[in-house]
Amino acid sequence: MSITERLARLGEVKAPASLLPAVLAAVVGDQYGLVSEEVWPIWVAWNRDGISAVMRADENDEAAFTGRFREQFGRPLRRAESVPASLRRSRRYDLREQTPFERLVLLKTAQIPRGEVRTYSWVAREIGRPAAVRAVGTALANNPIPVIIPCHRVIRTDGVIGNYGAGGTEAKKEILAAEGVDPALMERLARERVRFFGSRTTRIFCLPTCRHARRVLPRYQLEFHSEGEARAKGFRPCKVCRPAVAA
């Protein structure tokens, strides 16, 4: 078959329907749209690598979001007709602008279950950098994808709920409460310096919001102020919430 005949045949081949969106995504870059969350609406930007930016929509208008995006990332951004329903389920994030350390912090934070909280020191230990507690806090303060990467589920090492870049402490309490965390209980535990809950029946100690700790009936529950106190009474750390390094 001659080259001319081959080219003619190629011209008869129709491109698959999925090709145009893929080409547009590569050329256009990031798209964005409005998503209604259970607490606040949010602007969400994404590209072929995943979600790239999020900002609350109730305190900032659309122009503020697009302006901040272009200032931070320097990439083109266009409004999409709709936000793909599968985007949140994909758990894919575009963190190319973050340092390797920041990516570790954010991806570990993304694993914290809904309705539970962890501390900055927990995140630092989980990523193998136990002394980098302050750096973990800085990385989360600069989280480009708040709400979706749930930095609101990370609290101070002393148990205090702490500040939140998307609206301050009260906003953090609001979103935690919507997810099933009791802010009043968290504040009480912080005041009384309670760090862990233990079960008299299993002899296991957990972080207070761990789903296993929340199943323990009050008459079987103990409160511990430190890992040392829990271990001294014969309790071992939960393998799910990992409140301490296993002995």
Residue 211: what pLDDT? 94
Tokens at 109, concatenated: 């934070």
Which residues, including other chains, have CB under 8 Å from residue 22's CB and lie 6 or more apart?
Answer: 48
Q: What is the mean pLDDT of each run of 10 residues along the chain (247 residues)?
A: 56 50 57 87 94 84 90 91 84 93 97 96 96 96 94 95 88 95 95 97 97 94 96 96 80
Q: Among residues 151, 206, 238, 241, which one is catalytic?
A: 151
CATH code of 100-184, in short, is 1.10.10.10
Amino acid letter at 153? R
Tell me which architecture the domain covering 11-90 has in CATH.
Answer: 2-Layer Sandwich (3.30)
pLDDT at 165: 82
DSSP assignment string, 175-236? HHHHTT--HHHHHHHHHTT--EEEETTT-EEE-TT-TTGGGS-GGGEEEESSHHHHHHTT-E
pLDDT digit string (tens) for 125-137? Answer: 999 999 999 999 9
What residue type is 201 in one-letter code?
T
Phi, psi of 35 (to 5 degrees): -125, 135
pTM of the model: 0.84
151 among known catalytic residues: yes
Token pair, residue 125, equals: 């230990």
Structure tokens at 188: 């009480």
pLDDT at 36: 85
Helices and strands per DSSP (H, E), number in the chain: 10, 10
For residue 207, give the amino acid letter.
Answer: L
Residue 4 has a pLDDT of 54
Q: How far is CA 63 from CA 76, 80, 111, 224, in A?
A: 14, 15, 31, 49
